[in-house]
Structure 1
């Protein structure tokens, strides 16, 4: 480490990150650092100065924002030219080779808004299969999609879902969509009736439920929940009070709280659905590991529409959603899909027919799941002193903020420090009261070092809540 850095430089009053900023500015003023000089990596400088990496990262971020420094993805942080402001840190995820998904390449602006899988070989496999489809597409290249032509893809989707506890089903019970969100919208289009239909959702719920309902001018009614999911009595009351037709829920991995609805609670909610004649839309898109309880489709198969997707387990780029319908109801949903977009593009269904049953896929999914678990572990190690809810095979964490922080203010402060996260209010209806909590997604598309630095910046904010007093 260069001798211009020593812990004694930070002696004095005030926040450490401001002291680091002052030292760097002084070194530039004294010409110890000149334009184009590379600064030490965050961890190295933190070790030399005896402070946390998050403190150094915060100083670097603020000096880059004001143009004193500039950051270059994969190269490091440099002293900026006097007349150039330097780019803000690139937030494009780094796509890396299958053997280097924990690349040393670093980025400062880290998007923890949505989960991002590590690249462990999926891209290589998909490219190879796409090339094979392009050379000899089984469905041809000059025809509209047909039900028969999509049969191999539905058969492959059924095989891919074979381990899920969703009861008896086969390829004829499956409808393919352009991603899980599109599958949700199709179910709403197929089921909702009347001038003012309503759907019931958890009081904190996946925002896509609301967005799809808004497109169809349906009311969205939040239902009270506890640590085990929706409260049966609350669901019963909400169904009676409104013209509710669909209950939307994520029982296996609740988004955003990481919660889980145990089997006995699912049984009670299923009884309410039968009594109130509610259809159930079960969103299982976030589960990476084995299911822990029977799905609603197994408990009440006659009224459950089960939605899955490859976005959180293989890749979100291909936009494949899978809807498993109640027995005898597939034609209703298939007609809705055909009226909407005629069916998925035939080259994509040809690709899915090969990809979902490829012998290498289970191993790749296991590697991706393990990669997510590594990032989760690192985040928990850094944030373990705070109130977090997490699971090793879920690609996000739920953080209850300490005294002094409100969710909106914390999200804004995180953004100013190069970290994108989501506030609890993003998952609630407009007028709802929400907890002071945030969801932190796992972005394994950036290096582990970049991810840790981002989490450390969040911890630094948690350690130093704002001290403003309102008057």
Structure 2
């Protein structure tokens, strides 16, 4: 263990005790210090770091008070078990779903509207963990609170993001490739600002697509052209035709792993075909991976086309949307330009959010918490499938929304209005299409973990009853 204690880590630091605190936190996050491992005695560590014993003692005290370390009389100082710290200092987190106060979160108390517009995850313990980490950071923020954020202060957060993305098939990444953003929407805008050139650039999107693509395009004065899709995603021949009609187009935006709103997936054969079209037309490819909760099934475009593949994701659909933390990753050679877009736009994330990102994404409890949240989503999906499965329903057990193609007699707008009269808010297909496009008569139903399972079941039964009684009777 002696090799991890380098005097260079505290040399020149002011105050030095904070440098020791950061060193120990980083070693725990990186696995250099394990849970239950004993730290060197104060005087021994002071000698190794060439600082005073009082400085080390102060660092140990800060970390012990915040629960990172645990001091035992007569035995020494040890790395604390985060699970025990949470159990000692925060409300216990049951393994089943936690229903959040419905009035405070504008969701689903009795007699209130149930909002199924956007996904809200069940609490698998992330709320308690985030509160605990925020309290810890407030006591001793590693990045400080009196200066601008910088690439250097965000290094630990970017490394934690790399750790969190481990296993994602997006090509080799290191911390310098990560550009932190205020959620996925901000990440999309950063990519647009980095790529698009000219007075009136053009981008391609799927004919039904995440509305944020169009909103970001408006901000950079870009024209949006929708490309026809089938059940596997964008049709390569249609993309090639669109590229011929719009030679000024520079970018295609797509969601191959989890398509919103249809729950679709783009298989590898189709992805390879789209890459070939993009290369011939010299199109950049932006992959929006914000809705995936489990392991990726296919290889990402940054791996398939490393010279033109861009990737964005966020914590919103896997941990919580409240933090507004996401990232953008560009092709090799474009990291500097992407960093400039962020720094010129907002300098970087606030330093407390940088510290929270570093602590949260590297926390040993996070994978288990995310799994509990995924299991919670699956419970909601099963309820919806049981109620609506005899209709044309598209779903996946680890995707926090469902896509319902309405039976004859129902128009999407009329169905949404009828549902809202029953206290149920859902999105019509037209909200995912261009203003002048013809959209299918379909709706997206998002999972809202703030709604109890029993209330959610009642809502799905209500939708089923509406589907059985369309206002427009089709005569034969």
Distance in 1 (alpha carbons) for counterparts of 2:342 and 2:285 = 19
The answer as to 2:141 corresponding to 1:133 is: no
Shift of 1:467: 4.3
Structure 1, unmatched stretches of 5+, are 1-95
Q: Does structure 2 conserve the Cα–Cα contact (< 8 Å) formed by 1:112 and 1:421? A: yes
Secondary structure of 2:273's match? helix
Q: Which residue of 1 aligns with 2:171?
A: 167
Distance in 1 (alpha carbons) for counterparts of 2:456 and 2:214 = 30
Q: Does structure 2 conserve the Cα–Cα contact (< 8 Å) formed by 1:173 and 1:328? A: no
Secondary structure of 1:308's match? strand
Q: Which residue of 1 aligns with 2:97?
A: 101
Distance in 1 (alpha carbons) for counterparts of 2:278 and 2:400 = 30
Secondary structure of 2:225's match? strand
Question: For residues 288-303 of structure 1, what are the structure 2 equivalents within 5 Å?
Answer: 288-303=293-308
Structure 2, unmatched stretches of 5+, are 1-90, 102-108
Q: Which residue of 2 aligns with 1:16?
A: none
Q: Does structure 1 conserve the Cα–Cα contact (< 8 Å) formed by 2:99 and 2:450? A: no
Q: Which residue of 2 aligns with 1:411?
A: 416
Distance in 2 (alpha carbons) for counterparts of 1:264 and 1:459 = 37
Distance in 1 (alpha carbons) for counterparts of 2:420 and 2:231 = 29
Relative to structure 1, the CA distance from residue 141 to residue 288 in structure 2 (aligned partners, 3 Å threshold; closer, same or farther) is same
The answer as to 2:212 corresponding to 1:238 is: no
Shift of 1:465: 0.7
Q: Which residue of 1 aligns with 2:153?
A: 149
**1:184 corresponds to which of 188, 194, 207:** 188
Distance in 2 (alpha carbons) for counterparts of 1:236 and 1:97 = 55
Q: Does structure 2 conserve the Cα–Cα contact (< 8 Å) formed by 1:174 and 1:322? A: yes
Segments of 4+ in structure 1 off by > 4 A?
Answer: 102-106, 467-470
**1:317 corresponds to which of 318, 322, 325:** 322
Distance in 1 (alpha carbons) for counterparts of 2:239 and 2:278 = 8
Write the deviation string for residues 330-353 of structure 1: whole angstroms up to 9, x where unpaired.
111111111111110000001110
Write the deviation string for residues 259-302 of structure 1: whole angstroms up to 9, x where unpaired.
00000100000011111110111000000111111111110011
Distance in 2 (alpha carbons) for counterparts of 1:97 and 1:335 = 43
Q: Which residue of 2 aligns with 1:61?
A: none
Most deviating of 372-381 and 460-469: 460-469
Shift of 1:103: 4.3
**2:407 corresponds to which of 402, 409, 415:** 402
Shift of 1:372: 0.1
Distance in 2 (alpha carbons) for counterparts of 1:275 and 1:283 = 22
Q: Which residue of 1 aligns with 2:42?
A: none
**2:117 corresponds to which of 81, 98, 113:** 113
Q: Which residue of 1 aligns with 2:310?
A: 305
Write the deviation string for residues 218-245 of structure 1: whole angstroms up to 9, x where unpaired.
1000000000000001111111211111
Q: Structure 1 length as normaliser, TM-score? A: 0.78
Distance in 1 (alpha carbons) for counterparts of 2:287 and 2:144 = 35
Shift of 1:325: 1.3
Shift of 1:104: 10
Distance in 2 (alpha carbons) for counterparts of 1:104 and 1:265 = 41
Distance in 1 (alpha carbons) for counterparts of 2:195 and 2:169 = 24
**1:355 corresponds to which of 345, 355, 360:** 360
Shift of 1:98: 3.2
Q: Does structure 2 conserve the Cα–Cα contact (< 8 Å) formed by 1:117 and 1:315? A: yes
Shift of 1:107: 3.4
**1:202 corresponds to which of 198, 201, 206:** 206
Shift of 1:215: 1.1
**1:461 corresponds to which of 450, 466, 470:** 466
Distance in 2 (alpha carbons) for counterparts of 1:357 and 1:192 = 34
Secondary structure of 2:144's match? coil
Q: Does structure 2 conserve the Cα–Cα contact (< 8 Å) formed by 1:104 and 1:449? A: no
Secondary structure of 1:415's match? helix
Write the deviation string for residues 105-129 of structure 1: whole angstroms up to 9, x where unpaired.
8434211111110012101100111
Q: Which residue of 1 aligns with 2:57?
A: none
Question: For residues 214-229 of structure 1, what are the structure 2 equivalents within 5 Å?
Answer: 214-229=218-233
Q: Does structure 2 conserve the Cα–Cα contact (< 8 Å) formed by 1:247 and 1:280? A: yes
Distance in 2 (alpha carbons) for counterparts of 1:252 and 1:283 = 9
Distance in 1 (alpha carbons) for counterparts of 2:386 and 2:121 = 20
Distance in 2 (alpha carbons) for counterparts of 1:104 and 1:171 = 35
Secondary structure of 1:450's match? helix
**2:275 corresponds to which of 267, 270, 295:** 270
Distance in 2 (alpha carbons) for counterparts of 1:321 and 1:107 = 34
Distance in 1 (alpha carbons) for counterparts of 2:418 and 2:93 = 34
Shift of 1:190: 1.1
Q: Does structure 2 conserve the Cα–Cα contact (< 8 Å) formed by 1:102 and 1:448? A: no
Secondary structure of 1:305's match? strand
Distance in 2 (alpha carbons) for counterparts of 1:332 and 1:208 = 22
